[in-house]
Structure 1
Amino acid sequence: MIILIFFLSHWFLSLFFQTFFLHRYASHKMFKLSPFWEKTFYLMTYVFQGSSFLNPRAYAILHRMHHTYSDTEKDPHSPHFVKDVWGLMIKTKNIYMDYQKHKIEPEPAFRDRYPIWNFIDQIGDSWASRIAFGLFYIAFYVAFATHWWMFLLLPIHFLMGPLHGAIVNWCGHKYGYSNFDNQDHSKNMLPLDFLMLGELFQNNHHKKPNDANFAKKWFEVDPTFPVIKLMHHLRIIRLRKI
C-alpha cells in the first residue's frame, strides 16, 4: 500500500506541475504569477519531477512549435512521423536537448516570455541531481516494497516527465473523438481525463490554446481547472481574459 501511494503521488504531483507550470504557464501564459509564486512553482516542479525534470524554457519552445506546426513534419512530437512511442520519445528528446543546451536558437515567434531560473535549471539538468533522485526512489522501494514486481515501477519514476509527454502526444493525436476541425489529428481521449489531468483534451486545447479550461462540452471535465480557479480566487495566480 505504501508503494502504491508513493507511486500515485509521484505520478499525479509530477503531472500536475507539468500541466500547470510547464504547459499552461510557461508555454501559454494562461495566467500571471508574481516573482515569488513563479519561483515557488518552479522549485516545486523540480522537486516533484525529480530525476526527469524538464527545463521550462526548452519545454515552452517545443510546445509552441507543436501548436504552430501541429502534425506536420516540423512538429517536434507528432506521432504521425515515427514508428512507435519510443521513436517519438527519442525524437522529442533530441530536439529538446538542442534547445536545453542552447545548441540552436528558436525562431523569433517562439522566443521570450518563458520563465528562467538558471540556478534550478543547472541543478535539475545535472546528472548528479538525476542520479540522486533515482537513488532516493530505489532506497524507498528497498525499504517499503513487499513484492518483487513492485520494483518494475521504478523505470516509470526515472522517466516520469518524458513519459507523461509521450502519452499525451501519442494518444492525444491518434485516439479518441474530435469536437473541432483543427486541420490536424488532435483528439480528445477521455470525457473525464483523470489519467492525465486534462492533458488528453488535445482537440479542445488546439482549438483554444490560451484557454485554461481544456474541457469544452458539458460532459467533459478538466480536473486541473478547478484547482486553477481556486488559485485565482486566492490571488495566487491571475487568470488571463480570453
Structure 2
Amino acid sequence: MIILLFFLTHWYLSVLMQTLFLHRYAAHQMFTMSKGWEKVFYILTFIGQGSSFLSPRAYGIMHRLHHAHADTDQDPHSPDFSRNLVDMMWKTRTYYNDILNNRDSIPAKYKKGVPNWEFMEWLGDRWPVRIAWGTAYTLFYIQFATSPWLFLLLPFHFFMGPVHGAIINWYAHRYGYTNFKVNDTAKNLLPFDFLMMGESYHNNHHKFGGRANFGGFRWHEFDPAYPLLRLLNRLRIIKLRFGRDEAYM
C-alpha cells in the first residue's frame, strides 16, 4: 500500500507540474505570475519530476514548435514522421537537448517569454542530481516494497516526465475521439481524464490552444487541473488570461 501511494503521488505531482507549469505556463502563457512564484513552481517541478526533470524553458520552446508544425516533418514529436514510439521519443530527446544546450536555430518568436531560472535549469539537468533522485526512489522501494514485482514500477519513477510525454504525443495522436476538425491528428485520448490531469483532451487543446480549460465540451470531459488554476487565480498567485481561445502562434 505504501509503495502504491508513493507511486501515485509521484505520478500525479509530476503530471500536474508538467501540465500547469511547463505546458500551460511556459509554452502557452495561459496565465501570468510574479518571478517569485515562478521560482516556487520551478522548485515544485524539480521535486515533482525528480530524476526526469524537464527544463521549462526547453519544454516551452519545443512545445510551441509542436503546435506550429503539428504532424509535419518540423514537428519535434509526430507519430506520422516516426517509425515507432521509441523513434519518436529519441527525436524528441534530440530536439530537447539541442534547445537546452543552445545548439538550435529556432526562430526567436518561439522563445519569447519562456521562463528561465538558470540555476534550477542547471541543477535539474545534472546527472549526479538525477542519479541521486533515482537512488532515493530505489532506497524507498527497498525499505517498503512487499514483493519483488513492485520493483518493476521503478523505471516509471526514473523516466516519469518522458513517460507522460509519450502517452500524449504518441497515443493521443493515434487513438481516441475528436470534437473538432483540426489540421493534424490530435485526438481526445480518454473520455474522462483520470490519468493525465486534462492533458488527454488533446483534440480540444489543439483547436483552442490558448484556452486554460482543456475539457468542458462534452458532459463527461472534466479537466482536473482547471479548478486548481481557478483557485490559484482567486488566491492571486497567478492571473488567468480568460477568453484566450486562439492557438499560441
TM bucket by the smaller chain? Answer: over 0.9
Equivalent residues of 2:187, 2:203 under 8 A apart: yes
Counterparts of 1:10-159 in structure 2, within 5 Å, are: 10-159=10-159
What CA distance in whole angstroms lies between the structure 1 residues aligned with 2:35 and 2:122?
Answer: 19
Equivalent residues of 1:57, 1:114 under 8 A apart: yes
Give the C-alpha shift of residue 158 in structure 1. 0.5
Give the C-alpha shift of residue 189 in structure 1. 1.5
Taking structure 2 as the reference length, the TM-score comes to: 0.95
Helix, strand or coil at the partner of 2:195: coil
Aligned structure 1 segments of 4 or more residues deviating by more than 2 angstroms: none
Give the C-alpha shift of residue 81 in structure 1. 1.3
Give the C-alpha shift of residue 209 in structure 1. 0.5
Taking structure 1 as the reference length, the TM-score comes to: 0.98
- The residue type equivalent to 1:41 in the other structure is F
Equivalent residues of 2:198, 2:224 under 8 A apart: yes
The number of residue pairs the alignment matches comes to 242
Does 2:233 match 1:232? Answer: yes
Equivalent residues of 2:216, 2:223 under 8 A apart: no
Give the C-alpha shift of residue 109 in structure 1. 2.1
What CA distance in whole angstroms lies between the structure 2 residues aligned with 1:40 and 1:188?
Answer: 31
Helix, strand or coil at the partner of 2:64: helix
Cα deviation per residue 1:127-185 (whole Å; 9 max; x = unaligned)? 01100001000000000001001111111100000110010111111111111111110
Cα deviation per residue 1:177-216 (whole Å; 9 max; x = unaligned)? 1111111101011121111111011110011111100014
Equivalent residues of 1:204, 1:216 under 8 A apart: no
Equivalent residues of 1:171, 1:200 under 8 A apart: no
Does 2:181 match 1:186? Answer: no
What corresponds to 2:6 in structure 1? Answer: 6
Q: RMSD of the TM alignment (CA)?
A: 0.9
What CA distance in whole angstroms lies between the structure 2 residues aligned with 1:85 and 1:140?
Answer: 30
What CA distance in whole angstroms lies between the structure 1 residues aligned with 2:32 and 2:114?
Answer: 12
What corresponds to 2:246 in structure 1? Answer: none
Give the C-alpha shift of residue 87 in structure 1. 1.3
Give the C-alpha shift of residue 75 in structure 1. 0.6
What corresponds to 2:223 in structure 1? Answer: 222
The 10-residue stretch of structure 1 (8-17 or 183-192) with the greater mean CA deviation from structure 2: 183-192
- The residue type equivalent to 1:226 in the other structure is P
The answer for unaligned runs of 5 or more in structure 2 is 244-249
Helix, strand or coil at the partner of 1:102: coil
Equivalent residues of 1:79, 1:170 under 8 A apart: yes
